Amino acid sequence: MKSERSYAGVLLCFFLSGFAALLYQTAWMREFSFVFGTSELAVATVLAGYMAGLSLGAAIAGRLAHRVRRPVWIYGLLELGIAVTALALPLAIQGVRAIAVWAFAQPEGPPAAGGVAVTLFTLTASFVILVIPTALMGATLPLLSRHAVQRDNQIGSRVGVLYAINTLGAIAGTVVAGFALLPALGLHQTVLVGVAVNAGVFVLAALLARGQESRVSAPSHRPTAFRWQRADWVLPLILMSGMVSFSYEVLWTRLLGQILGGSVYAFSTMLASFLAGITLGSALAARFARDPERSAVGFVWSQLFVAVFSLAAFHLVDRLPTWVVQWDVGRFAGLHPSDAVFGVLLLLPSTLAIGATFPFAVRITARGVEDAAAATARVYAWNTVGAIVGALGAGFLLIPTLGFAASLGIGVALNLALAAVASWVLSPRKWIGVVLAAGLGLASWFWAPQTPWNLLRFAPIARVVQPGELIFEEVGRSATVLVRRREGAYYVMNNGLAEAAVRPVWDPGADLTNRWLSSLPSMARPQAESLLVIGLGGGVVVEEVPASIREIDVIELEEAVIEANRVLASRRFADPLSDPRVRVIENDARGALTLTSKRYDAIVSQPSHPWTAGASHLYTREFFDLVKDHLEPGGVFVQWIGLAFVDQELLRVLVATLLDVFPHVRVYSPPSYAAVLFVASEQALPIEETVQEAIERSPETFKKIGIQVPEDVFISLELDEVGARAFSQGAPVSTDDANILQVRSPGVLGRALLRARSLDFLAPFDPVERIAPGLDLVYAWVRMQQNRPHHPRLERLRDAAVGREGAILDRWAAKNEGRGARLEALSELASGSGREGRRAQEVLALVLRPAILRAPRAVEASKLQVLREPFRAVVEGWSRQGRPRELEDLDARLGAVRPSDLLYPEATRMRARWRVVEGSPGRAREALDLLDGISLASNGNFSDFFLYARAAVRAGDTGLALSSYRNAAQAAQRSGSAARKRLREIQAQVARIPATGEDGLYRQEILLWIRDALEQSAPPLRR
């Protein structure tokens, strides 16, 4: 009875050991990534060092275990040693960082990943730092086997149970760390929980060890009943088995990541799913591993089952998207529980078989009770070495080179080969296993796995299989990258997550957010000449960087993303990789910046999806510190965040984190409403004063995004430096230790700011009063009223305007005032001189516009006499609105309207309209040039897109016409009661365009989209 209580206590200890071990692995891998980055090479190298320590510890324990008198006591001391070294490990990592910077820093720029010297240093450093705690971990199983195994028939069973209970603890550690400890406590305190658990295990082990003593005996080499005497074959077999099993783990982690996403919760779920089967398999096999003969048969059948069930799972994996959507029960902590359930069920049969191999192998290897600990150590060490080879080989060679299907096929073939060899050298019925393996191999040849395209095209956020023609697909080292063509655009997907929409060669339409992202550095620092962009994505940010920037470095983590951009080079409107200023570096941003001393005038960071491994550590205080260290004095940092990924509190966290590093922070929201941009610097950011110089240096760049004057930038300013500090006051700072965005962002997807399409909660921090004195408030108010008619700033702009500016805005806004009095007051203001007089002229014209368009002759001539040129020409143009050919006579006068005038868009449309009606290709191309400055920045104006499309038709540019009609259709869908009429008009125009080949396919896609839009907006049928 006492012996049984002692065994139960040992099992509890070993459960807690596994729990703590996974806490440490999770924490240590992250801490190393802060030094070496999250490139696949760096992560795999650190993992190899970690597992090498486990293998070494097991090997040493196997040689010494027979000398240990009190194995439970020594086990407790090992646990205490793990706790002590865990406390010291962060300091060692910081020391390694200092050595790496000293030895490998490059002044000429960020290095690419994969350098031999850096890789060897990473491997050596990780092994040296981790060897003590991991070796102590690896020694625990052999020592406990020494204590637990008392009889020959317990070798397989008790070692199997120990292995299973330790793995069960690892599952608990994985889940608790991912879902509870890391979100609640952060990295450092999670490690302290592991330290406390190890210390508790030491105390418990010390109590269990009281009064216990084992005899010292050398390993037995006596012949056993296992008459074939070929047990040593098991070691290379278990090495190969570990290699194949870990290649499966890498493969399934990549595949299930397409469903679960890349969050810390998803990783914990995937790892727990894999370990769950191993736990059950080891526990079940322990019941049958009573003697070497049955264990040999069990080992053969385990390999056969791994092959069969892995192949079956791969054939079923393409159905996962359908299943998880049909059985979706909502979200929890950023995950859909149905995804995890189906993942576990899919992997359970094969992982059961994988888990069974270990106890079978130990029982075959052990020559008796005295050899149990040594046999356990040998099997564990060889299996771990195989795991290292399998993880590295699959991640770096097999999957990127051959893809998922071929990699799975090789794994199945190796399992069958292992079964055949094991049957031949170990089993009494050697031919049975060989024949079964050969038959299953032949069946798998005919039932060969195919690439699961349905799964790879699944978008875990949208919960749909993305439609469209595949243009590019590549399984990279860290991600699966697809490019699909739909409605003429090219969409870059990374592990199912959207990276970018790339414009086709015929579409000059502006992605305003990305154009702002690449232009804001020049607005803040017009003299800036060097730029670093973190994250290539679809290359949209570097398509049209202002010409004043002379050098552009781009850091991209995944090589497949770079290759996707190369494939799109001839298909896109602007190829960033052909820009001689651009140099692309394949590496993790933190790892690359750590190893260079180069400084830049500006750094732009646009990592997508802040919960993923490659992006989450680019939103912390430590990363912002690293950025500051690589900026020239006065340099600026621009940070992107998608509004789909944050709520109000996370936005406060981001601002607070930036302010913890940079004293000056501003927040802008470009007209697309899809993202906010943060501008940060150690020096002041008077962008309203500096942007004019930037416009003069690169006028075409800023014209295309609708920035003609400083007020065009101001209307997108949400927070200035004072407002940013007030808004973020009291908000926590996101750090490497407590990465708030990583753990909270997945959970806000259903209630993110993008859904609200409003940042009204920033209204109390509005910068109007602080910035208004130097601005043209009439221009700012009118432009904001046209583009953002419900923005709360409009009222404050009116309140800030004084004198003649205030009077002009009062008259504009006085909709209920008597028309005559209103016009009389504006006419009086318009008779003045200076900027206010000119603005009053324009506002008077805009107030008269509806009446002129309704009944041109009914507008009193006296009201128009006050208008001076060129605004009188615009009013005359309105009166000829139904006779566009007559606008040609006004062209010279309309051309005198300046881009900084409120009436510039109206004048430009008139100049373009008569050219389109005139009909010649040359005039149509002139119209396109004119419209470039307003239609691309019109924020979804249907009329501009429609006019642009008509010009493209007359110019003979079919692709551009279709693209513009698509933009017009999307704008029309948002136009309320006029939507159906406009969509039908576009439908008729598109149907008339003669198009073949890719253009013809594009036309058909647009027509189908319009048909669906019309059906969705159709009124309900009435009886």
Residues in the chain: 1023
Give the C-alpha separation, 286 to 288, whole Å. 5
Of all helices (H) and strands (E), which one includes residue 473?
A: strand 469-475
Q: Of 516, 709, 698, 495, which Cα lies nearest the Cα of 608?
A: 495
Amino acid identity for residue 934 in this structure: I
pLDDT at residue 938 tops 60: no
Q: Which of 97-101, 318-322, 458-462, 836-840 has the highest mean pLDDT?
A: 318-322
Q: Are 546 and 691 within 8 A, CB to CB? A: no
226 or 888: which carries more pLDDT confidence? 888
Q: What's the CA angle centered on 32, arms 26 and 33, to 5 degrees?
A: 90
Residue 231 — pLDDT band, cuts 50, 70, 90?
low
Position 223 scores a pLDDT of: 45
Question: C-alpha distances in angstroms, 713 versus 13, 808, 908?
Answer: 63, 22, 21
Over residues 759-764, the mean pLDDT reads: 86
Amino acid identity for residue 634 in this structure: G
pLDDT at residue 206 tops 80: yes
pLDDT tens digits, one per residue of 709-731:
898 899 889 999 999 999 999 99
Over residues 815-841, the mean pLDDT reads: 77
DSSP 681: E
Amino acid identity for residue 728 in this structure: S
Residue 42 — pLDDT band, cuts 50, 70, 90?
low
Q: Of 698, 670, 687, which Cα lies nearest the Cα of 523?
A: 687
Residue 845, C-beta contacts closer than 8 angstroms, at least 6 positions apart? 867, 871, 874, 875, 903
Position 195 scores a pLDDT of: 95
Give the C-alpha separation, 292 to 368, whole Å. 10
Biggest alpha carbon distance in the chain? Answer: 120
Amino acid identity for residue 690 in this structure: T
Q: Which of 104-108, 156-160, 601-605 has the lowest mean pLDDT?
A: 156-160
Cβ-in-10-Å burial (0-12, 13-18, 19+) of 77 comes to middle
Q: Which of 494-503, 591-600, 671-680 has the highest mean pLDDT?
A: 591-600
pLDDT at residue 660 tops 90: yes
Over residues 522-551, the mean pLDDT reads: 93
Task: Specify which residues 637 forms β-bridges with.
Answer: 603, 680
Give the C-alpha separation, 573 to 515, whole Å. 14
pLDDT tens digits, one per residue of 376-424:
888 889 998 998 899 888 888 898 889 999 999 999 999 999 999 988 8
Residue 362, C-beta contacts closer than 8 angstroms, at least 6 positions apart? 145, 155, 156, 159, 160, 289, 372, 375, 376, 379
pLDDT tens digits, one per residue of 910-931:
999 999 998 899 999 999 888 8
DSSP 792: T
Cβ-in-10-Å burial (0-12, 13-18, 19+) of 729 comes to exposed
Question: C-alpha distances in angstroms, 479 versus 30, 258, 626, 720?
Answer: 18, 10, 25, 38
pLDDT at residue 1023 tops 60: no
Residue 863, C-beta contacts closer than 8 angstroms, at least 6 positions apart? 823, 827, 844, 848
Position 148 scores a pLDDT of: 73
- Percent of the chain, pLDDT > 90? 30
46 or 314: which carries more pLDDT confidence? 314
Q: Which of 102-106, 188-192, 403-407, 473-477 has the lowest mean pLDDT?
A: 102-106
Count the alpha carbons within 13 Å of 820 in the hemisphere toward its beta carbon: 1
Give the C-alpha separation, 283 to 493, whole Å. 41
CB count within 10 Å of CB 818 equals 9
Position 1021 scores a pLDDT of: 39
Residue with tokens 């007051």: 825
Q: Are 890 and 910 within 8 A, CB to CB? A: yes
pLDDT at residue 312 tops 60: yes
* CA Rg value for the chain: 34
DSSP 106: B
The DSSP-derived string for 567-606 is HTTTTBSS-GGG-TTEEEEES-HHHHHHTB---EEEEEE-
Position 756 scores a pLDDT of: 59
CB count within 10 Å of CB 228 equals 15
Position 776 scores a pLDDT of: 86
Q: Of 470, 457, 477, 471, which Cα lies nearest the Cα of 559?
A: 477
b/e map 103-113, b = 16+ CB within 10 Å: eeeeeebbbeb
CB count within 10 Å of CB 222 equals 8
Q: Are 161 and 11 within 8 A, CB to CB? A: yes
Residue 1000 — pLDDT band, cuts 50, 70, 90?
confident
Residue with tokens 């992107």: 640
Give the C-alpha separation, 285 to 351, whole Å. 12
Side by side, the strands of the sheet bearing 582-586 are 582-586, 551-556, 530-534, 600-605, 631-642, 675-681, 664-668, 717-719
Query: Strand 600-605 and strand 631-642: pairing?
Result: parallel
Over residues 87-106, the mean pLDDT reads: 85
Over residues 798-809, the mean pLDDT reads: 82
Residue 427 — pLDDT band, cuts 50, 70, 90?
confident
pLDDT at residue 329 tops 70: yes
- pTM given for the model: 0.89
Give the C-alpha separation, 657 to 727, whole Å. 12
pLDDT tens digits, one per residue of 258-278:
888 777 788 788 888 888 889
Over residues 808-813, the mean pLDDT reads: 79
Position 415 scores a pLDDT of: 93
Question: C-alpha distances in angstroms, 740 versus 605, 621, 651, 680, 735?
Answer: 18, 11, 11, 20, 7
Sign of CA dihedral 63, 66, 67, 72: positive
pLDDT at residue 818 tops 70: no
Cβ-in-10-Å burial (0-12, 13-18, 19+) of 1001 comes to middle
Taking each helix axis from N to C end, the angle separating 292-316 and 264-288, rounded to the nearest 10 degrees, works out to 150
b/e map 620-658, b = 16+ CB within 10 Å: bbbbbebbbebbeeebbbbbbbbbbbbbeebbbbbbbbb
Position 214 scores a pLDDT of: 52
Token pair belonging to 773: 């004195």
3-state secondary structure of 678: strand
Token pair belonging to 870: 């060129």
Q: Cis omega (within 30 of 0) on the bond before 870? A: yes
Residue 795 — pLDDT band, cuts 50, 70, 90?
confident
Residue 264, C-beta contacts closer than 8 angstroms, at least 6 positions apart? 178, 182, 611, 616, 742, 743
Give the C-alpha separation, 897 to 357, whole Å. 81
The mean pLDDT value of the chain amounts to 85
pLDDT tens digits, one per residue of 857-911:
666 565 667 788 898 899 888 888 778 788 888 999 999 998 888 899 889 999 9
pLDDT at residue 98 tops 90: no
Residue 221 — pLDDT band, cuts 50, 70, 90?
very low
DSSP 395: I
Position 144 scores a pLDDT of: 84
